[in-house]
Amino acid sequence: MIISCPHCGLRDSSEFYFRGEAPTPRPDYEEGNVAFADHVYGRINPAGPQKEHWYHAAGCRSWLLVERDTRTHDFLSVTLASEQGR
Amino acid sequence: MERQRYSLFTLARHALTGHRGWKPAWRDAAPKERYDVIVIGGGGHGLATAYYLARNFGITNVAVIEKGWIGGGNAGRNTTIVRSNYLLPGNIPFYEHSLKLWEGLEQDLNYNAMVSQRGILNLCHSDEQRDAFERRGNAMRLQGVDADLLDPAEVRRMAPFLDFDNARFPIFGGLLQKRAGTARHDGVVWGFARGASDRGVDIIQNCEVTGFVRDAGGRVTGVETSRGKILTGKVGMAVAGNTSRVASFADLRLPIESHVLQAFVSEGLKPVIPGVITFGAGHFYISQSDKGGLVFGGDLDGYNSYAQRGNLSIVEDVCEEAMAIMPMVGRARVLRSWGGIMDMTLDGSPIIDRTPVPGLYLNGGWCYGGFKATPASGWCFAHLLARDEPHPVAASYRLDRFASGQLIDEKGAGAQANLQ
Ligand SMILES: Cc1cc2nc3c(=O)[nH]c(=O)nc-3n(C[C@H](O)[C@H](O)[C@H](O)COP(=O)(O)OP(=O)(O)OC[C@H]3O[C@@H](n4cnc5c(N)ncnc54)[C@H](O)[C@@H]3O)c2cc1C
Ligand SMILES: [Zn+2]
C-alpha cells in the first residue's frame, strides 16, 4: 500500500504505524463504565470506508486521519489529524 | 439419505468396484420455512455447533446457513495447528477440552481428520523469555496439561537444523507440548458436516444472511437471506471475520476488528521439520504438511481489512524470520500465499455468549487461533444454545467482560487489536 502523506507525498505504508479506527469522542465521567467500555473497546469495524488514524513514524511524525476502504485497501482521503481537531 | 459408515472393509469393497459406489458424504439442503435453531456460518465452528446440538442435546431441526461453500472461509485457509499451551485460567480449561476432543474426534465422527500429535516447540531467545515459558509451562501443568521445558541440547536433538548461535536471536531452549500438532482442515469441516447431516441437520450453501427478522419486543425470530426469509427460535452466529458485519444487522457494536492474516506454503520436500516450531523473538511458525510442503506464517498485516489478501511487507517480514531460525529453508521455493480475515477481539480471547438481543447468540472473536478451538467451540456453543447457560469451560468468554474489566489478555497488549 502507498499512502499519500500531506507533508511527505507518496510513501510506502511500512513507514506508517496503524493506530486503528478513529474512536468516538471520549464520554463524560458521569456516563459511567458501560459508556467508557464502549469508547475504548467498541468498534464499528465496517466493511467499506473507515475513518482511521495512522502515524507517519518514519517520516514527518504527524498523526493522520485517513479514510480507507477496508474491502479494497484504497485510500480515499488522507488529512492531518491536527487540522481535523482529532 | 442412507447413512454410510467408513471402515477398512468398506474401503476394500469399494476398491473392488473401482470406487464408483461412494455416495456424497452429506446432504446439500434447500431451506425449510422454519427451524428450532439456525447457525449462521458453515465454517468449522458453525458445523461443529450443529453436530453437537444434534449429538449431545438431540436438537436436530437445525440449519447451518453458509453464504458460499462450507469450509471456504478461515476453516479452509488456516495453518491447522492444534494446541492447548495457554497461560490464563480462563483459557486453559477450554483449549484443553478442545485438545481432548481432537484426540477422540476421528472415532466419534467416523471420519479421517488427519489429527497428528506431532508436538509444538516454542523457541525462546533470552533468559527472560525462558522464565516466561517456565511460568506458562507450570500454569499448564497445574491445570493437568502436558508441558516440557527443553534446554538447548534437547532442542538440538529434536531440530539440529536450527541456527542456535544466531548473533541476534540465539536459542536458549524451548517449551514443548507433545500432545499438540496439526489436523486436516477440510477433513474437519467435512467430518462435522457429515456427522450433522446424518443426524438431520440441513446444510444450506450459497445462502447469505442479510438481516434479522424481529418481533415487536425486539426478539430475533428469523433471518433474512438471499434465498428468502427463514424463521427460527434461536440464531447462533459463527461467522468469524464477518462477525461485526452480521452483528450490525441487529445494531450491535462489538469489541472486534477484522484483520488480514497471511499464510504460505513451499514446494513439497522430504520430511524435514518435526512437528510445529515457533520463533520466539518475533512471530513466526512452521510445520510440514503430509504432502511435504512447508506451511508457515507470521504476524497480521496490522490494519483492518476484509480483503482476504495481504501486502508484500509481511511476506518479507515472515521470510526474514524464517531465515533467522532455520536458514536452510532459504533454498525452498514458496509455492502459494493467501490471506484470511481474523475476528480480532480487543483482549485476544474469544466470545461465546448471549447478546443483548433476545434470541441472538454470539460465537466469535477467534483471532488467529480458532482452528484448534473448533470442537470445543461447537461443544460449548451448542450447550449455550440448548440450555441458555454457558458451558463451564467457556464461562469466562463473556461479552460483558470488556465493561466489567474481567479481560482475558494473554499478551497484556491492551485495547489494540493488531497487537493481540
Ligand atoms: C492464514 C491463517 C492461519 C491460521 N492458522 C491457525 C492455526 O494454525 N491454528 C488455529 O487454531 N487457528 C488458525 N487460524 C484461525 C482459524 O482459521 C479461525 O479462527 C477459525 O477457522 C474460525 O472459525 P470458522 O472455521 O468457523 O471460520 P470460517 O471458516 O471463516 O467460517 C465462517 C463462515 O461464515 C460465513 N459467513 C460470513 N458471513 C455470512 C453471512 N452473512 N451469511 C452466511 N454465512 C456467512 C463465511 O462464508 C464462512 O464460511 C488461522 C487463520 C488464518 C486466516
Ligand atoms: Zn509524512
Q: What is the pTM of this model?
A: 0.97
Mean pLDDT of A29-36: 93
Q: What are the DSSP calls for B260-274, one per residue? A: EEEEEEEEE-SS---
Q: How many residues in chain A?
A: 86
Reported as a pLDDT band with limits 50, 70 and 90, residue B271 is: very high
User: Cell 476398491 appears where?
Assistant: B15
B44 touches chain A (CB under 8 A): no
Residue B390 CA: distances (Å) to CA of B348, B370, B373, B387: 20, 18, 16, 8
Reported as a pLDDT band with limits 50, 70 and 90, residue A86 is: low
Q: Which residues contact B304 (CB under 8 A, 6 or more apart)?
A: A20, A21, A45, A50, A52, A70, B257, B258, B259
Do the beta carbons of residue A66 and residue A52 sit within 8 Å? yes
Q: For B289-324, write each residue's pLDDT tens digit.
A: 999 999 999 999 999 999 999 999 999 999 999 999
Q: Which residues contact B205 (CB under 8 A, 6 or more apart)?
A: B28, B42, B66, B68, B69, B70
CATH number at residue A48: 3.30.2270.10
Reported as a pLDDT band with limits 50, 70 and 90, residue B26 is: very high
Reported as a pLDDT band with limits 50, 70 and 90, residue B3 is: confident
Higher pLDDT, A86 or B152: B152
Chain B residues whose CB is inside 8 A of the A43 CB are 244, 253-257, 346, 417
Question: What percentage of chain B has pLDDT greater than the value 70?
Answer: 100
Distance from CA of A86 to the nearest CA of B (A): 18
Whether the CA torsion B99, B367, B338, B320 is positive or negative: it is negative
User: What does the block give as the cell for A38?
Assistant: 464502549
Q: How many CB atoms lie within 10 A of CB B111?
A: 20
Among chain A residues, the shortest Cα distance to B312 is held by: A1
Q: Tell me the helices (H) and strands (E) count for chain B, helix number first.
A: 10, 18
Contact A73 B305 (CB under 8 A): yes
Among chain B residues, the shortest Cα distance to A41 is held by: B255
Q: What is the DSSP letter of B26?
A: S
Which domains are present in chain B? 8-16+29-84+86-111+184-254+347-419 (3.50.50.60), 120-179+257-345 (3.30.9.10)
CA distance B420 to B414: 8
Do the beta carbons of residue B179 and residue B124 sit within 8 Å? no
- At residue B1, the pLDDT reads 61
* B289-299 burial code (b ≥16 CB/10 A, e <16): beeebbbbbbb
- Probe target for ligand 1 pocket from B74, B235, B351, with the most ligand atoms within 8 Å of CB: B74
CA distance A56 to A8: 9
Statement: residue B48 has pLDDT above 80: yes
CA distance B399 to B347: 11
Reported as a pLDDT band with limits 50, 70 and 90, residue B136 is: very high
A72 touches chain B (CB under 8 A): yes
CA distance B158 to B14: 41
Closest-lying ligand to the alpha carbon of A66? Answer: 2
Statement: residue B94 has pLDDT above 70: yes
Cβ-count burial of B228 within 10 angstroms (0-12 exposed, 13-18 middle, 19+ buried)?
Answer: exposed
B337 touches chain A (CB under 8 A): no
Mean pLDDT of B319-344: 96
Do the beta carbons of residue A20 and residue B304 sit within 8 Å? yes
Mean pLDDT of B42-58: 98
- At residue B202, the pLDDT reads 98
Number of domains in chain A: 1
Domain span at residue A33?
2-84
- At residue B257, the pLDDT reads 98
- At residue A24, the pLDDT reads 85
User: How does strand B220-225 pair with strand B334-345?
Assistant: unpaired
Chain B segment 285-324 residues within 8 A of A by beta carbon are 302-307, 311, 313
- At residue B102, the pLDDT reads 98
CA A19 vs. chain centroid, Å, equals: 6
Atom of ligand 1 nearest to the CA of B262: 1
- At residue B189, the pLDDT reads 98
Do the beta carbons of residue B320 and residue B272 sit within 8 Å? no
CA distance B43 to B382: 15
ipTM for this prediction: 0.96
Nearest to B244 among A20, A34, A43 (CB): A43
Residue B312 CA: distances (Å) to CA of B268, B301, B309, B324: 23, 9, 10, 19
Reported as a pLDDT band with limits 50, 70 and 90, residue B357 is: very high
**Phi, psi torsion values for B341, nearest 5 degrees:** -100, 120
Q: What is the DSSP letter of B249?
A: G
- At residue B4, the pLDDT reads 87
Query: Of B316, B340, B301, which Cα lies nearest the Cα of A16?
Result: B301
- At residue B414, the pLDDT reads 87
Distance from CA of B414 to the nearest CA of A (A): 10
User: Cell 460465537 appears where?
Assistant: B363
- At residue B65, the pLDDT reads 98
How many beta-carbon pairs under 8 angstroms link A with B? Answer: 72
Question: What percentage of chain A has pLDDT greater than the value 90?
Answer: 90
Please compute, for residue B208, the number of CA atoms within 13 A of its CA located in the half-sphere on the CB side.
Answer: 7
Integer distance in angstroms from the first to the last C-alpha of chain A? 24
Reported as a pLDDT band with limits 50, 70 and 90, residue B61 is: very high
Do the beta carbons of residue B35 and residue B202 sit within 8 Å? yes
Do the beta carbons of residue B384 and residue B378 sit within 8 Å? no
- At residue B36, the pLDDT reads 98
Do the beta carbons of residue B101 and residue B375 sit within 8 Å? yes
Mean pLDDT of B53-57: 98
Chosen for mutation from A16, A33, A45 (greatest number of chain B CBs closer than 10 Å) is: A45
Q: Which amino acid is at A2?
A: I
Helix or strand holding residue B377 (H, E):
helix B374-387
